[in-house]
């Protein structure tokens, strides 16, 4: 990601709009990377978001290289307070008719038949998308597409959706038909891995839905290989096993089971230091667990850290532990492998596709402290195993999970989507 220049798209290239909640966001760096990559490769790509904080722009120097880039990011008009949104409907109509009269007219004409007066509220929310006249609208999270699929007909475009984990694992769980409109209207879906594709089908996605599995990618320059500790045996008083976890302090990360595993290690006489990077509302519960399990002295909560400090912590560690209960695919585990850390993780979500069990780390059943502890003791006693896992991890990321691979796949995804578009319009 060094160049980051906007390559002028050819006039025939389809216009692609990525819909996200906020842009740019540190926790969603992958969207920034994808956006910039597509721009460089000559795509006519735009971002529509509802928040954009100038502070966050500073965190992404790449975004500021070329002033053209900013013109590709569009923020929707305010929705709160409601009275303000109500007042702005008139200027919104003016803007719509001035920018793209045909699209605005078609949207209102077709939409009023379906929604009646309600169409003005929708028009206000969809204004930026209408003005852009996209060929493809891509929702970066599944839940964003719910309630927006009417855009397909009203703007006469294709729509596609990314499912990344939380959307399929949690959103609308107690409403069985929550995603039905998406399954009916979407032209294609993207999933981070096989697990999410299976989950989508259990939530009603038809098996003949055109889809692609595109896993996340890691920037190998940012996550360089680290040297493993040369000690043969770890887990002693002199050379305690250094264990690291990275991820928000939420119950779904399964840290309580990791702490129970630490208790088992302690009772078996192993020495270790366990550090957790991340912050969240489950912190009280975890601090209480440390107190209750009597492992306070060996566990440190480091809070949320910027990426360069996360990398320092990865370099410090001997083992990366990821005890999750629910997961999309997990970038943190990929990054740990990229740096050559052996991984112990659960089989939650896409983790079993992420880590090669017995090759780059160990994959154990979720909610099983005994299994976590057992695999960590295996690693303490065998430096060859740690080294071979680490090297295999680097290879695995290089071969399967690079940013370049990810970008190629997305280009293929969108090309296919737009060519289907042309074909049908020729018919």
Partner 1 sequence: MDKNIQLRLLFMGLGTPEVTFLNRLIEGLARQGVHVTICGPNRKMVDGFPAEKADWLLAPSWHGSDLIRVWQILQMLIRGIPGTRCKWFGKLFRSRKTLSGRLAAFHRYLPFLRGDWDVIYFPWNSTAVDYIDLFDLGIPVVISCRGSQINIRPFSKGQESYVNLLKQSLGKAAAVHCVSEDILSNAVGLGLDPEKAVVIHPAVDPQSFLPCFDNSQNDPIKLITTGSLVWNKGYEYLLMSVRLLNERGMNAELHIIGEGAERSRVLFTAQDLDIASQVVLHGKLSPAEVIQQLQQSDIFVLSSLSEGISNAVLEAMSCGLPVVTTDCGGMREAVQNGVEGFVVPVREPEAMADALQKLVLDSALRKRMGGAGRKRVLAEFNSQMQIEAFVKLFESVRVNEAN
The DSSP line for 64-95 is GS-HHHHTTEEEPPP-SSHHHHHHHHHHHHHH
Told to check if 351 binds partner 1 by CB under 8 A, we report no
Shortest gap between Cβ of 290 and partner 1 (angstroms)? Answer: 8
For residues 139 and 19, give the distance between their C-alpha atoms in angstroms, rounded to a whole number.
5
- E-strand ranges in 143-195 read 158-163, 188-191
Q: Of 85, 88, 93, 285, which lies in the binding site for partner 1, with binding defined by CB under 8 A?
A: 285
DSSP structure class, residue 348: -
Distance between CA 150 and CA 268 in Å, rounded? 60
The residue (of 105 and 170) whose beta carbon lies closer to partner 1 is: 170
CA atoms within 13 A on the CB side of 389: 28
Stretch that binds partner 1, among 22-30, 284-292, 308-316, 395-403 (CB under 8 A): 284-292
Residue 271 or residue 301: which is nearer to partner 1 going by CB? 301
**Binder of partner 1 out of 256, 318, 335, 353 (CB under 8 A):** 256
Residue span binding partner 1 (CB under 8 A) among the ranges 185-193, 226-234, 286-294, 389-397: 286-294
Torsion angle, CA of 107/108/113/117, rounded to 10 degrees?
Answer: 130
Does 203 interact with partner 1 (rule: CB under 8 A)? Answer: no
Nearest CA to 203 among 175, 241, 240, 243?
175
Kindly tell me which residue out of 115, 120, 178, 251 binds partner 1, with binding defined by CB under 8 A: 251
Is 289 one of the binding residues for partner 1 (CB under 8 A)? yes
Name the residue nearer to partner 1 (CB basis): 335 or 353. 353
- Subset of 322-341 contacting partner 1 (CB under 8 A): 325-326
282 binds partner 1 (CB under 8 A): yes
- Which one of the spans 34-42, 91-99, 168-176, 357-365 is the region binding partner 1 (CB under 8 A)? 168-176
Please tell me whether the peptide bond between 282 and the residue prior to it is cis, using omega within 30 degrees of 0: no
Q: Binders of partner 1 among 258-277, rule CB under 8 A?
A: 260
Between 277 and 397, whose beta carbon lies closer to partner 1? 277
Q: Which of 288, 404, 412, 419 binds partner 1 (CB under 8 A)?
A: 288
Q: Can you list the pairs that 6-12 forms with residues at least 24 positions away whose Cβ atoms lie under 8 Å?
A: 6/39, 6/40, 6/66, 6/68, 6/69, 6/72, 7/39, 7/40, 7/41, 7/42, 8/42, 9/42, 9/43, 9/44, 10/42
Chain residues binding partner 1 by CB under 8 A are 169-170, 173-174, 251-252, 256, 260, 282-285, 287-289, 291-292, 301, 325-326, 367
């Amino acid at each position: 990601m060094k160049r980051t220049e906007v390559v002028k798209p050819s006039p025939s290239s389809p216009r692609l709009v990525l819909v996200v909640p906020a842009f740019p966001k540190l926790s969603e760096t992958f969207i920034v990377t994808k956006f910039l990559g597509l721009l460089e490769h000559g795509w006519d790509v735009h971002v529509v978001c509802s928040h954009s904080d100038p502070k966050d722009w500073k965190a992404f120097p790449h975004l500021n290289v070329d002033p053209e880039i900013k013109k590709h990011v569009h923020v929707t008009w305010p929705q709160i307070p409601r009275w303000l949104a109500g007042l702005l409907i008139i200027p919104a109509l003016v803007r719509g008719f001035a920018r793209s009269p045909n699209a605005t007219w078609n949207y209102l004409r077709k939409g009023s038949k379906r929604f009646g007066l309600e169409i003005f509220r929708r028009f206000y929310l969809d204004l930026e998308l209408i003005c852009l006249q996209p060929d493809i609208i891509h929702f970066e999270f599944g839940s964003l597409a719910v309630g927006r699929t009417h855009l397909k007909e009203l703007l006469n475009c294709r729509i596609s959706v990314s499912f990344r984990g939380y959307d399929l694992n949690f959103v609308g769980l107690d409403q069985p038909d929550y995603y039905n409109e998406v399954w009916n209207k979407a032209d294609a879906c993207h999933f981070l891995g096989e697990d999410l594709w299976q989950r989508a089908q259990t939530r009603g996605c038809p098996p003949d839905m055109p889809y692609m599995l595109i896993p996340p990618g890691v920037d190998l320059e940012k996550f360089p290989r680290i040297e493993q500790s040369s000690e043969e045996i770890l887990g002693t008083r002199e050379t305690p096993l250094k264990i690291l976890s990275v991820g928000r302090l939420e119950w779904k990360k399964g840290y309580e089971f990791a702490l129970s595993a630490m208790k088992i290690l302690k009772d078996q006489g192993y020495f270790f230091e366990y550090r957790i990077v991340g912050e969240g509302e489950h912190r009280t519960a975890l601090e209480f667990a440390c107190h209750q399990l009597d492992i306070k002295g060996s566990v440190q909560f480091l809070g949320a850290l910027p990426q360069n400090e996360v990398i320092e912590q990865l370099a410090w560690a001997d083992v990366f532990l990821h005890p999750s209960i629910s997961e999309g695919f997990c970038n943190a585990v990929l990054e740990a492998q990229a740096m050559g850390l052996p991984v112990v993780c659960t089989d939650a979500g896409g983790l079993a596709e992420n880590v090669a069990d017995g090759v780059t780390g160990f994959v154990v059943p979720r909610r099983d402290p005994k299994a976590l502890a057992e695999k960590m003791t295996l690693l303490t006693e065998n430096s060859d195993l740690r080294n071979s896992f680490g090297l295999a991890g680097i290879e695995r990321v290089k071969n399967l999970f690079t940013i370049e691979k990810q970008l190629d796949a997305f280009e293929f995804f969108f090309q296919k989507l737009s060519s289907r578009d042309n074909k049908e319009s020729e018919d």
